[in-house]
Structure 1
């Protein structure tokens, strides 16, 4: 797959393209992209996605706090696995937001020879959302491509969306979020030095530094799988997200206790995949009560992993 900024793309092959943020690359996204790839191959065309970075709401609605389900690189890897030929990224800024629908499409066509543009029923393009479905259909006739409407796709009679997944995660419901994603929700980051409290109480943890704009599940304790990205080894784990109220610490942290593991991994990259919520974060009267509860959490996680 070719993954680049739109400005550097000079495609010659007729292309079927869809446009969107595709944060999470969840099951509805996957359904659309598989159909796009299949149709492109039938027509001997390329399949392509145009996405934006940063999220348009960071520019258009700066008062809203955006929490990403996936980084742009994670989205690229997921799309490559689905068979997409091109992921083109358009940096979103004030100038981009001012483009008319026609100017936007002309910019796109300067780099990618679009044969079909696949868009959802609520899709809008261009300044103030002027590029509605009828407008884009007329522009397609003028500029030489057709519009392929994408119907809503449901899972268990529910419309799957990135917003719905964020709501699940905010409630600690990682299992429903994972169902909508079609894979476990995960966080990726570098292990940084912590305060060593876990090691002192017999449960050493990897303190994983996560980008500040990445979505986190609700504060609490989770059954997880942790993968070391450099050597691909995976370990069961129990992970705490929160402010560690027993110690009076401020600021949310992601701390994973890996089972049957005792290595120095500072500076190494991990992927923490969330499988099951165990409990919410609690404040304990003392260290002994905390240690006992962590022991119960770890036992629950080990048994859950053995059964699943």
Structure 2
């Protein structure tokens, strides 16, 4: 199926991705990973929750960690432009017979909780508590020096359908991988904020969250993180990289938190703000699409992901496979 034409006038205006809520089984172990190792800043905490932000962010948090009996993903959240957009978003989901309800969330104003057609829990808000800037408080920089949350990547059992739905919400495709034999999409990258992606979809058992990514200043920060993890007991949590993606041109590293949630550290992609920006097509059999240089991805990178609360994953309809490391 062809990539849909960009929807330049969507029914509501998404500014960018905002934050992820992870369910973790050991809050102190998660703190050791996200705060002491990666370098995210604590912006709030309670007996069963920890809120974190990156160095350039003024909103209260980009990650919410919640103590739970089982690991999972509570929600993927997006910031909208203005209050009327919240009402338009509610109408959009209800018109399609999808769940949509108003919920209370700490540190946020009016918040809409919804689900996409495959059950991914989504949240939308306009106002979040604003904090003082810390980007020039260089004494706080630690770990990989994360600057901001960058994107979510999700396993999808039907990438064509996922792209069509998120295109309705105004996400624009920047790059995609097509299976030449069937003409179907194997993966796609879609944005709102003018980078390569706020969301991406990868063929596989879904829906599941493949990873959350954080933008870091330079590739050298990723090298520094590797040195840190390899000498502080985290070497076994390094999954893939470093390397450079063909798609997005990003310099990357993938690591896993204590509950197995995958985190990408990421820099060096490019600007996509032009409304007539043409998406780049990649063939599934091109080995440089996922790895311009670097070791091939391990099997775990294709098969393992985090479960969304309340969503039941289904087998992917497309059975084509890219190159997998031995």
Confirm or deny a common fold (TM above 0.5).
no
**Larger RCO, structure (CA 8 Å, separation 6 or more):** 2
Structure whose residues are more often strand by fraction: 2
- TM-score by length of structure 1 reads 0.20
* Greater radius of gyration (CA): 1
- TM-score by length of structure 2 reads 0.20
Structure whose residues are more often helix by fraction: 1
